[in-house]
Chain A
Amino acid sequence: MGLPVETGRARSVMALRAALICLAIMCPIAVGSMQRASSPAPAASAAQGAVTARVVAAANAFLATLSPDERAKGTFGFTSSQRTGWSNLPTGAFQRNGLRFGDMTSRQREAALALIAAALSREGYQKVTNIMNGDEVLKNARGGRTGGRPGAPGPGGAGGRGGGVRFGLDEYYIALLGTPSARDPWMIQFGGHHLAINVTVVGPNNVMTPSLPAAQPAKYTLNGQTIRPLGRENDKGFALINALGAAQQKQAVLAYQVTDLVLGPGADGKVIQPEGILASALDASQQGLLLDVVHEWVGILNDEAAAAKMAEIKANLPRTYFAWSGSTQNGGLAYYRIQGPTLVIEYAPQQGDLDHIHTIYRDPTNDYGAKLVTP
């Protein structure tokens, strides 16, 4: 008579035991996972590995053009403070470390540019050179130097060469952090006035956050061609805001002016509360326009790495915000921000000047490849 009861008891004990084991294992895991970042490092493809091999080869070719002294000046430890030592400011206002283009031979310059070209996409490289050319235009428009009130003391000291800030192609710097490797982390740091490109390479993964592409003038003529280094960023932004319906615009447009970047240089690790309209409130066509805007920054990096990053951003689209401040008429003054779990983009005209644009591109979870580098 007791057998069925006894068997039931035994089964209950077994079931209880199994449940306890599961709960004991799962409970801390579940709680722990809620405390951690939600986005794991993306998996890399074989094509990305091939890109890394190409970038490593270009980096080694550049290093081969340098003397021992130049190598010492242009290379740093991967974890050195140099990693965060970038700026959008011109020489004289900010002293960069690394090798200055104006001090390089033409062979060294070409090898340095070949390295930048290997790391970036064709369009990205063109954008970078358009920004640099714009600074040369700025230099010539200002007679080579500027800054400070009349009679103000020049920078001197560590900043340099006296007499205000300096613009132009000679004032771009390149530095390598760590040893170029297809396996171990290293970094390319390239920049000058209105440009900071930070490419961290970790195995097959290439990461380009944080980076700061900017432009002044925003429009100039070179060899008979009109160049707008950040023209697509402007036009696509306006196309997106104007593709929104009235109710959507009401959510997207901030009721206050934004006069500068919120998360510019020096704001590493900061995450502001997002605002604007969620991409989940956009239709498929509008989401496509949003992704097209985002690609203007993500697509500066080589195609393979950019494709992986875009896939990640697309997956996070329901949690991505688009915020706008200012005129919605193209040609007017406007600021915009796109912010998602792994993305911050800001586009900010400076001081009401449409001819002077600053932008920033960040990944709060993976700036400098933080997600990929084992501490």
Chain B
Amino acid sequence: MTVRSLSMSLAVLGVCLATAAPARAHRLDEYLQATRLSIDVERVSLEIDLTPGVAVAPEVFAWIDTNRDSQISAAEAEAYARQMLHSVALSVDDRTLPITLVEVDVPQFREMSLGVGSIRVRATASMPATDSGHHRISYLNTHRSESSVYLVNALVPADPRIQLGGQQRDYAQHGLRVEYTVIGDASWARTCSALIGLVMAGMLVFTRWPGIKQGFQPSSLSP
């Protein structure tokens, strides 16, 4: 088919709609809660995107707009984010980690009413000092479970010292358990390699320096 004929078919379209089902363009009656966990040696970062469907957007907006002025203030947004995070449980090796809100961004009602606006919650939790070896992180989100669907995933760690292992979730993805291993310190490895390089370079200089080199002359080894 030529570009022109495709253009024509684009232009004349609109007459053959017999099989077009009633359309649903966007999320309707569900509250999508998508979480990404980023695991570091010192902290766990949470990126939580909350997207209310068209049908639940007014209800979600009402949860946040507590003074009913049809505007979301910074204080209301923060209060909602803290409330949401109270429904999140995070632990490492069965030790509960307190979660700290970093930032929250709430879209306009207009976007939410179209089923496309996402509330972005960013949070972090400090890790207790962890030894190298095997560990386990558990995450559970029960916020507004009556109307929500969930996604939760662990990001590949930026720190090469951390290697993720097995992951387990419940069917609805309320929760995620990630096994991971902390291996040798990469920065230590880099430092070590640099030191070895320096020592070797020093030895090279030593072997090439005439005064010292003399000490390696065969004659000096003779009795």
Contact = CB atoms under 8 A, between A and B. Distances in A.
A158 to B, nearest CB: 11
A312 interface: no
A273 interface: yes
B75 interface: no
Given A169-B10, A273-B156, A27 B196 contact: yes
- The A interface is mostly helix, strand or loop, or mixed, namely mixed
Nearest to A169: B10
A236 interface: no
A142 B9 CA distance: 20
A10 B32 contact: no
Contact of A169 (B3, B13, B19): B13
Nearest to A17: B207
For the side of the interface on A, what is the size category? 35 or more
Contact of B114 (A20, A92, A140): A92
Contacts of B193: 27-28, 31
Interface stretch (A64-72, A241-249, A283-291, A347-355): A347-355
Contacts of B20: 137-138, 140-141, 217, 220
Given A13-B207, A141-B22, A217-B20, A24 B200 contact: yes
A110 B114 contact: no
Nearest to B194: A28
Interface stretch (B90-98, B124-132, B214-222): B214-222
Contacts of B17: 137, 140-141, 220-221
A165 B25 contact: yes
Interface in B61-106: none
B9 to A, nearest CB: 7
Given A117-B3, A256-B170, A271 B156 contact: yes
A6 B154 contact: no
Contacts of A7: 218
B183 interface: no
Nearest to A14: B207
A320 B78 CA distance: 41
Contact of A2 (B110, B189, B218): B218
A93 B3 contact: no
Interface string B160-194: 10001001011111000010000000100110011
Contacts of A350: 24, 27
Interface of B: 1, 3-4, 6-7, 9-11, 13-14, 16-28, 30, 32, 34, 36, 53-55, 57-58, 109-111, 113-116, 149-151, 153-156, 160, 164, 167, 169-173, 178, 186, 189-190, 193-194, 196-197, 200-201, 203-204, 207-208, 216, 218-219, 221-222
Given A133-B9, A147-B113, A272-B153, 10 more contacts: A28-B193, A93-B26, A114-B3, A137-B17, A141-B17, A256-B170, A257-B149, A262-B151, A273-B155, A273-B156
25 contacts: A5-B221, A27-B193, A28-B197, A31-B190, A136-B13, A140-B20, A141-B23, A142-B25, A147-B113, A152-B110, A157-B110, A159-B110, A193-B25, A216-B23, A220-B20, A221-B17, A254-B169, A257-B149, A257-B172, A260-B32, A260-B34, A262-B153, A273-B153, A273-B154, A273-B164
